[in-house]
Every structure is written in structure tokens, then in C-alpha cells.
Amino acid sequence: MYRSVLCFRYLMRRWLTLVAMVAVFLGVGVLVVVMAFMGGMVTQVRQAIRGGLSDVIIDYEISGFRYYDEFAEAIRRHPNVRAATPTIFTYGLVNVRPNAPGYERARVSKQCMIYGVRPEELAQVSRFSEFLVTRQTNAERPSLDVPADLARQMTLLGEKVYPGCIPGIEMVTYNPPANSPMFGTEPVLLSSVGAHLEITTFPIREGGSIEKLAGVPQVNTRRFMVVDHYKSRLYDFDRQNIFINFKDAQDLSGLAAVTDEEGRMVAPGRAHQILVRLHDYGKASDTIADLGRLWPRLWCELEGLDPDGPAVRMAPILSFLTWEERQANIIGAYEMQRTVMLLIMGLIILIAGFLIGATLSMIVKEKTRDIGILKSLGASNGGVAQIFVLYAVVVSGTASLLGLVAGLIFTWNINPIERQCSEWLGRDIFDRRTFYFDTIPTDVDPLYTTLIVVGAVALAAACSLFAAYRAARLQPVEALRYE
């Protein structure tokens, strides 16, 4: 009983206690908010990456591999596979032809990543439909076909109807310089539905070389019509990606099947990737191992070779990666930022812990007589030490809980607070064009939140041990000698 009474007596009579409590309160509150923000960023990035790809990505080099449809069909028969689709992935140049008022004569050329896809299949393995923001958002059967009404209008005007394409939203958006009186401040969508884009790329032979004519590298250029826009909320994806039909991409990049004059197959078509959606992502490693064993045998069977012989080693070496392994550099960068912020913000709590330790050391020095009286009345070394440890736990625990509550309230209302502060300051605190999120993302992780509170209390208790040890070691005779 005496331990609690003395703990609260000392607690209420030290102004440094208030300083320490404020430090712990601010440290925990700020850390909760920062970790919620960083957690939201990581969650958004992971969702965007996984949604743009799939659970498992099967890759080959730029020349592409044969029998992609046969392999995709075999993959679909695996018990853990929900869906699979082949894709073309190559680099090229896009020439944007705007149809925005006032920008019709502008020409913008950009490097791009060309994805040849089958839209309905891609929607089954990824969040492709969710990322379409103009016409087909969350469509069950997304399409790259030109809308019928637009096609009729183009035909009546005597204009050619080109194949459809879906560019990343940032590829066809102009962001004017800040405070520009000429162009304004709002982003301008240069190419809405119906605008034309020209895509240029190099056709690649099966051996990996660029096709040449009389020693001159060949270039394929085709015009497409915008039918929708893609917005994953990852700037690099939305700035470079453009989606066209699988067959168009094969023709453009030199991967289409080759036939002779009589229509007989000379060389089958090729693809670069197969995207695979799983039923249970936790079994991805086992599924990848199964597919890795399946491919060489299937290739040998289709080539008319013995799958149990040495010819199995001749099969193209495909890469089998999960989406996390494929984009480990991006995910790792955000995870590292979260860890660094945790360490930096944790210094505030560390300083608060030292404040508590310093306060207790001063109390031990000032209350030497009281400690001597307690011990002469029979208080044990452990009992005296517990007074000071309990003091640290009460101070840090109270401040941590208050900081947790304040941090959670701030986190849950961070977007209204940001909007109000932006109005007061006359500028955006959270620049949507920089972070590319419509709202400030937050994700309160119960594990991190618990660790922050428990860590603050444990750190304060650890900082109190030295003072508690000094108090416990005091001898009654020495403590009362000069009293």
C-alpha cells in the first residue's frame, strides 16, 4: 500500500513529471499518426501493384516464348489456380494527339510500356476493371473495342475507325507549372475518348534480334483510338503503361504467328508473360514449383520430343515470381521508409524516457531521508525499488494512453483536418499530384499501435531502473546519519 501512496505523492509534486508526460504524450501520438500514414501508403502501393499485375507472373525474355495458350490452359487446370492469361509486354514510343480544346495542335512523344492483353481475361487475374476510370469502371467484361456510337460517328464523318487502346491517365494528362497564368493550375486531360495515339516499336525476331531490311532496323507504327483511361494510383505505372489488344500487340512487336502462302504454320505466335491468379496465395511457392515442373514437359510434348529424356533441358527458361518478388524494390523502399520513420519518431519517446529517469534520480537524491525512514521501518529493497518503477510506469502509461487516443482521433479525421488547414493557409498541405492519392491514406495496424504503447511504457520503466537501484541500495544508517 505504501508504495502506491508514495508513488502518487511524488508524482503530483514534481513539475518535471508534467514535462515527461507531455513528451511521452507527443511521442506516442505523433508516432501513431505517422505509422498510420506510412502504413496507409504501403497498403495503397501494395494494392495497386498487386491489382496491376497478379499473384504470379511467368516471364520470358523480350523475344517471347511459344505455346503460351497451351501452357495457360494447362495452368488453369491446377487446383490452386483461379485464372490465367497470356500478355505481351514490350517497350515503345507513343505519340499523343490531343483532342482537348486549345491543345489540338500539340504533339507529345513519350516512352511507353506496351501491354497486349485480352481484357476479359485480364480482369479475372487483376483489378484491371477497377482501374478503368472513364467508361468501364468495374465492368464485368471490359473491352478495348471502340464504342459503337463513336464508331458510327467516325464512319459518318468519313474517318477511319482505328483499334482501341487504354493509356495510363498520366500519359495523356498535362500538369501545368505551379502558378502558371497562361495554362491555369488544374491538370488537363489531353486525350479523351476518341483521341488518336500513334504507337511505335521494333519488331523482334524469335532469336531476340531486331528485324532488319537491307541492314536497316525495321520499325512498326500503328494508330489507335482512346476508349478509356487507366488509373492505378502508381505514378510510374500510369505515366508509362498503355493497353492494346493482344493480337494487335503481336503484330506490332513481331510476335504474331508466321504462315506460308498456303496458310501452313511456319512459326507459332509468341507471348512474353502469363499472369496467374491463385485461390490461395499462401500456397504460391508450392504452386510455382508445380508449374515450373509442368512447363518443360509440356514444351517437349508440343515439340514432339521425349519429356523424360535430355531434351527437357532445351525448354525455354521461364521466370516464375510472385508479385511481391517482382516488385520487391518498390515495396522494399516503402517498407524501409516506414521503418526509418519509426526509428526517428521513437527518439521522442526515448528522450521522454530519459526525462523520467532524470526526474527519478533527482527524487532519490532529495528524498534520501524518506527512503532511510522507510527502510528502518522494515521496507525491503525490492519494495523501495518498486516505488520508482511504478512511478515510471504510471507516468508513461497514462501519457501513452492519452497519446494513443489523441493519435487515433487525429488519424480518423486527418482528411477533414487537412482540408481545413489548407483553406487557412491558402495552399494544399497534401499535394494530390505529388502523392497521387485522392485522400491521405491511413491504415492503423493494431500490432504496430500495441508495440508503440508497450514500447513507451517498457522504455520508461527501463530508464527508471538506475534510480530504483540507487534507492534500493541505500542503507538506513547512511541515509539518516546527517538528519
In this predicted model, what pLDDT tens digit does every residue of 157-182 receive, in sequence order? 778 888 999 999 888 888 776 655 55
> Residue 440 pLDDT more than 60?
yes
In 191-309, at which residue ranges do the beta strands (DSSP E only) sit? 196-201, 212-213, 216-217, 220-226, 241-245, 258-259, 265-267, 273-278
φ, ψ (nearest 5 deg) of residue 441: -75, 140
Q: Looking up cell 546527517, which residue turns up?
A: 482
pLDDT band, very low/low/confident/very high, at 72 (cuts 50, 70, 90): very high
* Residue 168, C-alpha cell as written in the block: 495510363
Kindly report the average pLDDT of the chain as a whole number. 82
pLDDT tens-digit series, residues 77-135: 999 999 999 999 888 999 888 888 877 777 788 888 999 999 999 999 998 888 888 88
In the chain, the N- to C-terminal Cα span, in Å, equals: 26
The model's pTM is 0.79
Specify the pLDDT at position 332: 83
pLDDT of residue 482: 47
pLDDT score at 125:
92
Q: What is the pLDDT of residue 115?
A: 93
Highest mean pLDDT among 313-317, 359-363, 479-483: 313-317
Contacts with 286 (C-beta within 8 Å, 6 or more apart), sequence order? 80
